[in-house]
Amino acid sequence: MKQHVLLAKTEHSGAQFRELVKGYVKTFKDNQSNESIFRGIRQTYQAKEGFLDEPSKRGFRPVRNTVPEYLEYLEKTSNEYVSNLFALEATNASGTATARLVVDGEDFGELTTLELLRLKSFLDHQELNTLYQSLPVRPDNQMWKESDDEEFRGKPVWATQLFENPHRTTLKEPFILKDPNIEFVKDGKGYQPQVQYRDTPIIMGEQQVQWFSGEISHRERAEILERLTKLKGAVKEALAKANEVEIVPSPLTGQKVFGYLRTGKVA
């Protein structure tokens, strides 16, 4: 591929990439609650004999998307654009200072200073950092395990335990207070017994609730952000190492530039 073709492709896909990242940030920020596209729920309900059924206490809402799948899609759709960015820098910097970029034993290869500067700029991009900081996470006040629900087979979906949720109500039952003076009443006409009420709790039905999540854990998000920080630090170190080279003087000097502007001649 010729460089002018690569430049055109990179310029076109760059706008798409920026819009994709902005869309991800909005999606992640808008889906941090139980109504999130990354969470689901199944509820069952069985009314006790003699009580009305309550269909509103039953239902199933699946997990519509998962965070790992979002990140895989970002990687898949943005790979060409990001690769083209560094291919441009590698082309422009052929033969200049290089350093090997290694993070926690993972080798990214021998990169030129221009590639490293481009990577530094890429990693420092505010929207990209916001994207990873906004990754939706599962609530840590619940116990989660990988779901074996048939509905989510093959998907990175997690589930809570099945909670029993009895549907309760209280019946008020009247009873007459015992009156110790009743035996002294000669004529019962007009006598008003004292009536009181006792509360009797009853269970009207049994509901079961289970939550599902396509989010990642707090630990996983923290590890991703830690790797981002490590990569940024490694890039700075590699740049410092790559710049430990002898200066190559340029034939273009200030004297030539200013001399030409002043006299029309290159001294």
* Per-residue pLDDT tens over the stretch 108-154: 999 988 889 889 999 999 999 999 999 999 999 999 999 999 999 99
Question: pLDDT higher for 50 or 181?
Answer: 50
Using the 8-state DSSP alphabet, how is residue 49 labeled? T
Q: Which single residue is written with the structure tokens 């509360």?
A: 199
Cα separations (Å) of 126 from 121, 132, 192? 10, 10, 79
Under the banding of pLDDT at 50, 70 and 90, the label for residue 219 is very high
Q: Own/partner pairs for 54-60, CB < 8 Å, 24+ apart?
A: 54/167, 54/205, 57/167, 57/205, 57/207, 58/207, 60/151
- The closest alpha carbon to 139, from 231, 41, 265, belongs to 41
- pLDDT of 188 strictly over 60: no
Specify the number of domains making up the chain: 1
**Model pLDDT, residue 137:** 97
- pLDDT of 217 strictly over 90: yes
**Model pLDDT, residue 109:** 93
**Model pLDDT, residue 250:** 65
- pLDDT of 175 strictly over 70: yes
- Residues with Cβ < 8 Å from 176, sequence gap 6 or more? 193, 194, 195, 196
202 CB neighbour count, 10 Å cutoff: 13
**Predicted confidence (pLDDT) per residue in 9-62, tens digit:** 888 888 889 999 999 999 999 999 999 999 999 999 999 888 889 999 999 999
Average pLDDT over residues 207-236: 95
- pLDDT of 262 strictly over 80: no
Q: Is residue 17 included in any domain, yes or no?
A: yes
Share of the chain above pLDDT 70, in %: 88
**Model pLDDT, residue 249:** 65
Question: Do residues 203 and 166 lie in contact, with contact meaning Cβ atoms separated by under 8 Å?
Answer: yes
Using the 8-state DSSP alphabet, how is residue 193 labeled? -
Average pLDDT over residues 196-221: 92
- pLDDT of 156 strictly over 90: yes
Q: Is residue 77 included in any domain, yes or no?
A: yes
Under the banding of pLDDT at 50, 70 and 90, the label for residue 185 is low
Does the model's pTM come out above 0.85?
no
**Model pLDDT, residue 131:** 95
Question: pLDDT higher for 220 or 174?
Answer: 220
Q: Is residue 265 included in any domain, yes or no?
A: no
How many Cα atoms are found within 13 Å in the side-chain-facing hemisphere of 74? 19
Please compute Rg for the chain using Cα positions.
35
Q: Is residue 187 included in any domain, yes or no?
A: no
Buried/exposed code over 147-160 (b: 16+ C-beta within 10 A; e: otherwise): bebeebeebbbbbb
Q: Chain centroid to CA 136: how far?
A: 3
The domain in which residue 58 lies consists of 3-171+204-245
- The closest alpha carbon to 146, from 134, 161, 158, belongs to 158
Q: Is residue 259 included in any domain, yes or no?
A: no
